[in-house]
Every structure is written in structure tokens, then in C-alpha cells.
Structure 1
Amino acid sequence: MRLLYFAWVRERIGTGEETVEPPEAVRTVADLAEWLKGRSSGHAEALGDLARLRAAVDQRFVPLDSELGAAQEVAFFPPVTGG
């Protein structure tokens, strides 16, 4: 699974992209974020407060409780504001 990180999420993790193979127990976007927190202190910091994150699965915005299914790509980013 390809993961993409944007804005301050990318800065805290230290990369904009990585490829992972999550365990079978990881079924939702929130599960994925929880599992990723164990990869590094940067992951833990960036993904620590799920209320501050938005996600897209295969380039479609989704709620964090969405099932991953056969997702090829998941992106994490902060809420987007207009102006």
C-alpha cells in the first residue's frame, strides 16, 4: 500500500511517501493510522490526534472510519481551509 503525507503531516513524519504492508487486523483508515504510530516518533506525533487529520483512499476523500478494502493508496493531510 502506498501512503502519501502532506503539509505538516509530511514534515513531522519526515517523508512525503512510503510503502507499507499493514497486518490483516488493519481494516479501516483509523486502524492504519493507529498502526503507523508505532513506526517512529514522527509518525506518532503526526498521527496522534485523528481529529486533526483528513484522509483519501485511492484519491477519494473518506471518513477515518472507512474500510480500506483493497486500497492501493492512502493519503493523510490536515483539514483544508479556503480563503
Structure 2
Amino acid sequence: MITVKCFARYRALLGFSDLELPTPATLGELLADPRFATLPKDALLAVNQSFADRTTPLKDGDEVALMPPVSGG
């Protein structure tokens, strides 16, 4: 199993803050799940607290974080 954590406005957008799912082969396969259909393409992705892209492999016990892009000045 992997744990998916949503931060900031993605909690309301996706309807959960934490979710446990069976382990897919890659982050892209995870995000192909219909529960993530409304996730914007510019979402920041992390696996085990390191930024990742959709080709990142996943393994049992990983933690995936979904975060909105940040801006500031």
C-alpha cells in the first residue's frame, strides 16, 4: 500500500487529505486513477518527501504528496 497526502486546496478539490491505495508501478499510473481526474497538470508531486515526476517508480510503503504550485515574492 501507498499513502497519498493532499495539501492546501487539493484537499477540497479531491475530497480527501489522506488515502491508502494499492501500489501501482509508477506515479503516473497512480494519477491515472479516476479519483485524481481533477488534479491540475501543474501539481507539485513528491514521493517520500522528494520532488518527483510521473515516471517515478513506486514501491510498497511509499508516501506520495500532492501540492499546489506556490508563488510569492
Asked if Structure 1 and Structure 2 have the same fold, meaning a TM-score greater than 0.5 normalized by the shorter chain, the answer is yes
Structure 2 residue runs without a partner (length 5+): none
Q: Could you tell me the TM-score, scaled by structure 2's length?
A: 0.78
Q: Which structure shows the higher helix fraction?
A: 1
Residue correspondence of structure 1 range 1-83 to structure 2 within 5 A: 1-22=2-23, 26-35=24-33, 37=34, 39=35, 43-45=36-38, 47=39, 49=40, 51-83=41-73
| Structure 1, unaligned runs of 5 or more | none
2-structure distance, mates of 1:8, 1:52: 13
CA distance in 1, matches of 2:61, 2:47: 6
More strand as a share of residues: 2
Q: Which whole-Å deviations, capped at 9, do the CAs of 1:30-83 have from their partners, x for residues lacking one? A: 110102x2x4xxx322x2x4x221111011111222111345200111222232
Percent identity over the alignment? Answer: 31
Q: Distance in 2 between the 1:77 and 1:63 partners?
A: 13
Cα 1:19–1:75 shift into 2, 3 Å: same
RMSD of aligned alpha carbons: 1.8
> Number of matched residues?
72
